[in-house]
Amino acid sequence: MTIDINLNYGYGRLSVREPFLIATDTPVVLAFHSDYALKDTLVKFTSDTGKSCSFRMSNLSEIEIPQAFVHAGKLDVEVALVVKEKVVKRWSVEPIVFAEHDTGFVGLPELEQILADLASVKSYGTTIAALTKALQDVDKRLADIEDIVKDTLE
């Protein structure tokens, strides 16, 4: 599988939406496209498990992701252009999400946060409904007390 990445300004943009469906031992190649000549580069991979590794490449156009980083989850990639042993340009690539057919990953990672927020809002609604009922009960009791006081004073 090949994933095309356009390096523009300070970020790398994936040409295809994710997640990318993988199988065991799926070779995944990143193909970089840039207006810069990528003659001497550093490529760093950081997994959502905390593992990271980097490679120094000459004439970078493609690189295969190490198999240790090809698993269901998120992968961060950073590319740095080196000139005379100094980093002169750096690109942070959009997070790459890999999914296996049975992982339950969804196409929009933000959806899980939205659903969590919705559950939170629903719990607030339940709390507000309970407070409203309690206030109605208090209001009814106060009305009963007012009636008793009126009857007693008359």
For 111-138, what is each residue's pLDDT tens digit?
777 888 888 888 888 888 888 998 999 9
**pTM of the full structure:** 0.62
Q: How many CA atoms lie within 13 A of 53 on its CB side?
A: 8
Mean pLDDT for the chain? 87
Q: What pLDDT score was predicted for residue 126?
A: 82
- pLDDT tier at 52 (50, 70, 90 boundaries)? very high
CA 50/CA 68 separation, integer angstroms: 12
Token pair belonging to 112: 């899980």
By the 8 A CB rule, do 12 and 92 touch?
A: yes
Predicted confidence at residue 92, as pLDDT, reads: 94
* 62-64 vs 29-34, strand pairing mode: antiparallel
Q: pLDDT tens digit string along 31-44?
A: 999 999 999 999 99
Q: How far apart are CA 132 and CA 37, in angstroms?
A: 66
Whole-number pLDDT of residue 104: 54
pLDDT tens per residue across span 68-116? 888 888 999 999 999 999 999 999 999 999 888 764 555 666 777 788 8
Name the nearest CA neighbour of 50 among 28, 31, 76, 29. 76
Backbone angles phi, psi at 95, to 5 degrees: -60, 135
